[in-house]
A and B are shown apart, each in its own frame.
Chain A
Amino acid sequence: MDIHEYQAKERFRAAGIPVPPGEIATTPDEAYAIASKYGGMVVVKAQVHAGGRGKAGGVKLAKDATEAREHAGNILGMEIKGLTVEKVLVTPAEDIQTEAYVGVLVDRNNQAATFMVSAEGGVDIEAVAAETPHLIRKLVVDPRYGILPHQGLWLANYLYDDPGLIKQAAKIITQLYHAFIDAGASMAEINPLVTTPSGEVKAIDAKMSIDDSELFRRPDVAAMRDSSGEPASEIKAREANLSYVKLDGNVGCCVNGAGLAMATMDLVKYYGGEPANFLDIGGSSNPDKVVAALEIITSDPKVKSILFNIFGGITRCDDVANGIVEATKRIDIKPPIVIRLTGTNEEVALEILKNAGFDAYTSMDAVVEKAVALAGAN
């Protein structure tokens, strides 16, 4: 789960990291009021779950409150990478001397939280890591000890020469680690970490992603979810406990298991079609889940055919077949449905489906070819 910059800043502030003040506006007048309160120059920043806000025109410097209102008017309602901006953060503009990068993420290869710091701030760290890795200092944090004082200093030493700045940055790095752990994050980033002419080190941007598996035990973090930018179908899928990702094609896919679901989408493409979605229905044969899945898939008007690909292992195919028959009685579905079931009790399952008037298969290739053909014909 991604959280907004202003939410990440709240977490950072709570951890003791120096972060400039800021407030959220949802209208230009609110932006005006906030900017008037601060006086002087402010920055108006789109709060949306997408990178590249600056390039998209979602971050603007305003010389006074009137200009802040004008910028907010332009940014609110703007689309950035398909997401509508509904909130802006209004924050006093800082006098910046240098910009650095400080981030921590769960690194798969090291199996631990890993820091990356670079004196090249305000940049795309992935690009720096790929093109100029010598400009990054990395530290793998041993989960048994957490970040140790000398490690924070070692990272900070890479960023600054001035002892005062090093001391402040080392403290911020340690605080960032605690904010990261306390939120159950998979990534936390300050980009840029700035120095001011008066010798202060501050976080003027903040980014954080939360591990979805942490949310059940962190209600304060879960409460930060903002679904406003998400497609309605994805919200519904989350509520129904289904893994769903909307795509642009016209072949709706309903599969048990994530790997098989991806392989099914790939096979749709292989046979010349385009998948409309990723959907993992899990091991359940519960008709309610099938109904929810079908409602989600058919809510996409582009869908011209629906394909089920079920590998019955522990789950019995006849249970799944009954679930599909039951579900399709409850709701009216326009696009044609084709079903592939194989594994435990497949003969019984095919019988059930054929009796209910469905086109049923045992081969994955055959059902995908058929679904692609149907989508093309409709």
Chain B
Amino acid sequence: MAIFIDNDTRLVVQGITGRDGSFHTRQMMEYGTQVVAGVTPGKGGQSFEGPDGKTVPIFNAMDEAVAATGANTSVIYVPPAFASGAILEAADSGISFVVAITEGVPVLDMAMAHAFARDRGVRVLGPNCPGLISPGKSKVGILPAQIVSEGPIGVVSRSGTLTYEAVFQLTSNGLGQTTCVGIGGDPLIGTNFIDCLRAFEADPDTAAVVMIGEIGGTDEQEAAQFVTDHMSKPVVGFIAGQTAPPGRRMGHAGAIISGSAGTAEEKIKAFEDNGITVAQRPADIVGLIRAALA
């Protein structure tokens, strides 16, 4: 098993003809993801040339794509100005899961889009996230496939390359993954740590979870409390940004310490208070996971 995506995932790519969209569509198809449709307004009726001579039909709109192909998941590579519109359209098309990769979506647009998706019972991942991968089953987004392997570890993170770092070390040490999820670095994200922890707890194949947080907000603190209240599986944590100064945005729009709230110290303490072992360095994650599984 895995969480959120698996062999039954039927994916539609919004923005399939763009530079990023077409590159990553090929990567996803090479991994074995069932890419069943693409959407680019004005290019309906054309088809996308995938690897190995495979083609993907392109539609003008999400509802047409879903009606024609039975897609259940979408991934969004459209530019920031159109990204929230693409999320709204996806949430209204009958699919159940939307993965928004785009970085730089105006936050007030996302307040509207998240409310709209919630009303329709549609799960959103992101925006400003690398997506997710269930090794051996499906990949949706931009995570590099060569660093993952199948196994019992669930990984959830607010970051991109830092997630790759952790996953790469797990894989190099023989610790495969059920699903690796990047929830995104924006202030307003759809799927949060708790959603992923809940899903990993319910997934029979996941034995332990790696949770990688960073400065800003209180998501990690609430997730730590959730671990105490609802999780039987061990969780190993890491928090980036111990050296980040307050009031400065550290790359991610959501990675900012406001006043004295959202510091790494506060998050590490919340982890430790709730029985989450905290890695001092990314290199310590493997050892802590091994100890947790022993």
Interface residues of A (CB under 8 A from B): 106, 108-109, 111-113, 126, 142-144, 181, 184, 186, 211-214, 216-217, 243, 245, 247, 255-263, 265-270, 275, 278, 280, 311-314, 342-344, 363-365
On chain A, the residues within 8 Å of B281 by CB distance are 266-267, 270, 365
18 A-B pairs with C-beta separation under 8 A: A108-B254, A111-B111, A111-B115, A213-B106, A214-B106, A245-B250, A256-B161, A257-B160, A259-B251, A260-B159, A261-B250, A262-B243, A262-B244, A266-B241, A266-B281, A269-B242, A313-B144, A365-B281
On chain A, the residues within 8 Å of B159 by CB distance are 257-260
What does DSSP make chain A's interface, helix, strand, loop or mixed?
mixed
A361 CB, min distance to chain B CBs, angstroms: 13
A262-B250, A342-B168 known; 4 new pairs, CB 8 Å cut-off, are: A106-B107, A255-B161, A260-B162, A262-B240
- Asked if A265 and B108 sit within 8 Å, CB to CB, the answer is no
B196 CB, min distance to chain A CBs, angstroms: 16
- Asked if B251 and A247 sit within 8 Å, CB to CB, the answer is no
Tell me the number of A-to-B contacts counted with CB atoms below 8 Å: 175
Stretch at the interface among B4-12, B60-68, B214-222, B229-237: B214-222
- Asked if A258 and B218 sit within 8 Å, CB to CB, the answer is no
Contact of B104 among A108, A213, A312 (CB under 8 A): A213
Contact of B107 among A142, A213, A278, A311 (CB under 8 A): A213
Counting contact residues on chain B (CB < 8 A from A), the size range is 35 or more
A291 CB, min distance to chain B CBs, angstroms: 20
Residue in chain A with minimal CB distance to B252? A258
Contact with A along B39-79 (1 / 0, CB 8 A): 00000000000000000000000000000000000000000
Compute how far the CA of A245 lies from the CA of B105 in the bound complex, rounded to whole angstroms. 21
On chain A, the residues within 8 Å of B147 by CB distance are 313, 343
- Asked if A111 and B253 sit within 8 Å, CB to CB, the answer is no
On chain B, the residues within 8 Å of A106 by CB distance are 107-108, 111, 187-188
Asked whether any CB of chain A lies closer than 8 Å to the CB of B157, the reply is: yes
Contact status of A257 and B188, CB under 8 A, knowing A143-B115, A266-B241, A343-B144: no
Within 8 A of A (CB), among B130-175: 142-144, 146-147, 157-165, 168
Asked whether any CB of chain A lies closer than 8 Å to the CB of B255, the reply is: yes
Contact status of A258 and B188, CB under 8 A, knowing A126-B261, A184-B106, A311-B161: no
Asked whether any CB of chain A lies closer than 8 Å to the CB of B85, the reply is: no
- Asked if A213 and B253 sit within 8 Å, CB to CB, the answer is yes
- Asked if B105 and A213 sit within 8 Å, CB to CB, the answer is yes
- Asked if B240 and A343 sit within 8 Å, CB to CB, the answer is no
- Asked if A181 and B162 sit within 8 Å, CB to CB, the answer is no
- Asked if B240 and A365 sit within 8 Å, CB to CB, the answer is no
On chain A, the residues within 8 Å of B212 by CB distance are 259
